[in-house]
Amino acid sequence: MERFTYAAPRTVKDAVLELASSGNVKVLAGGTTLIDLMKNGVEKPKRLIDVTGIKELNEFVIDGDELRFGALVKMSAVADHPEIKKRHPILSEALWRGASQQLRNMATLGGNVLQRTRCAYFRDPQYPCNKRQPGTGCAAIDGINRGHALLGTSEDCIAVYPGDWATALAAVDASFDTMSPRGARTISIHDLHVEPGRTPNVEHTLAADELIVRTRIPTRSAYRASTYQKIRDRASYAFALASAAVALDIQGDVVRDARIAIGGVATRPWRARDAEQSLIGRRLDERAARHAGELAYVNAQTTPQNAFRVPLGIAAVERALIVARERA
């Protein structure tokens, strides 16, 4: 592990000043992504800004017409909350189907959305990787790519964005309040993560000195009919081979509005808008659900190793739509 210095500010203002004070500075929250990557030599910050002592980042508001979660709120606090389970199953399921109980007790919502890819070549500095070291090549394209992305890939990188929570946030149009030396701003989940293109090392639109302060989630009672379905190699403690986050406004069997995002298969949280449109104003039966799943994957680009995840992804969307319908 490389040497680094450490600061533990007590306010958002001080944290932002610390972030702006020098180059190669990183925010430290739960540390479950960052410390791992520092230990294996992928991340080499010169200074860590530990934000875990900042009380303002623990906000937890679940009444009214939007949910507000401070950046330090733990995954488990939302996953296990009875009101979230009852009124927003898409959110609790996306969290409790991720990681393990120990990790969920440690990991924060702010850190979760910025978790980095699990591509094994990225995490092992002996391999070429355009994301870790721009211009070196991509070991995955001609290597082991069973778990790599089907959507949003480029010639330079095919790594999956692995998070479950951000996939659910994409379905419900969440946004993030941030703070930097230039002031506060709000970023939609749809504008936070970026596709790799020619610059896979750039993963999101936050500046180096910008702190996520809170997540905002608009609530709609109509979307109680929601779920997060995840298909993985084992029943728990594994990243998604394919997942689907679905929220429905449905009257009788007829869909008035549908939100569908797919996870574990794309280079960023992925909204399946054509699939949504195919359902609106129609009766939701097994056939319509399957067709929506097929539309979600119509642009999938596969390799011989990862093509098996297209039918899994279609099945995840189909299952999520039927589960959500039963909850209406």
Ligand X SMILES: Cc1cc2nc3c(=O)[nH]c(=O)nc-3n(C[C@H](O)[C@H](O)[C@H](O)COP(=O)(O)OP(=O)(O)OC[C@H]3O[C@@H](n4cnc5c(N)ncnc54)[C@H](O)[C@@H]3O)c2cc1C
Nearest-5° Cα angle at 74, 181 to 42: 65
Closer of 73 and 129 to ligand SF4 (Cβ): 129
> Binding of ligand SF4 at residue 158 (CB under 6 A)?
yes
DSSP codes, 76-114:
HHHHT-HHHHHH-HHHHHHHHTSS-HHHHHH-BHHHHHT
Token pair in block for residue 69: 């979660």
> Binding of ligand SF4 at residue 42 (CB under 6 A)?
no
Q: State in angstroms the smallest separation of the CB of 132 from ligand SF4.
A: 6
> Binding of ligand SF4 at residue 179 (CB under 6 A)?
no
Please give the span between the terminal C-alpha atoms of the chain, in angstroms, as a whole number: 51
Closer of 116 and 291 to ligand SF4 (Cβ): 116
Q: For ligand SF4, which residue of 12, 19, 157, 321 counts as binding (CB under 6 A)?
A: 157
Beta-carbon contacts of 149 under 8 Å, excluding residues fewer than 6 positions away, are 158, 159, 160, 161, 265, 266, 267
Closer of 99 and 129 to ligand X (Cβ): 99
> Binding of ligand SF4 at residue 140 (CB under 6 A)?
yes
Q: State in angstroms the smallest separation of the CB of 24 from ligand X.
A: 12
Footprint of ligand X on this chain (CB under 6 A)? 26-34, 36, 51, 71, 75, 98-99, 103, 107-108, 110-112, 114-115, 163-165, 211-212, 239
Euclidean distance between CA atoms 113 and 71, whole angstroms: 10
> Binding of ligand SF4 at residue 115 (CB under 6 A)?
no
Asked whether 108 and 102 are in contact (CB, 8 A), the reply is no
* Partner from ligand SF4, ligand X, none binding residue 192, C-beta < 5-8 Å depending on class: none
Euclidean distance between CA atoms 164 and 270, whole angstroms: 11
* Partner from ligand X, ligand SF4, none binding residue 130, C-beta < 5-8 Å depending on class: ligand SF4
> Binding of ligand SF4 at residue 193 (CB under 6 A)?
no
HSE, CB side, 13 Å, CA atoms: give it for residue 93: 23
Q: For ligand SF4, which residue of 200, 263, 269, 313 counts as binding (CB under 6 A)?
A: 200
> Binding of ligand SF4 at residue 159 (CB under 6 A)?
yes
Chain residue whose CB lies nearest ligand X: 111
Cite the DSSP H helix spans in 264-308. 273-279, 286-296
> Binding of ligand SF4 at residue 265 (CB under 6 A)?
no
> Binding of ligand SF4 at residue 239 (CB under 6 A)?
no
Q: State in angstroms the smallest separation of the CB of 33 from ligand X.
A: 3
Q: For ligand SF4, which residue of 76, 115, 130, 306 counts as binding (CB under 6 A)?
A: 130
Euclidean distance between CA atoms 76 and 154, whole angstroms: 35
Angstrom distances, CA of residue 232 to CA of 59, 209, 312: 32, 35, 10
C-alpha 161 chain-centroid distance:
7
C-alpha 3 chain-centroid distance:
30
> Can you give the binding site for ligand SF4, defined by CB under 6 A?
117, 119, 121-122, 129-131, 138-140, 148, 157-159, 200
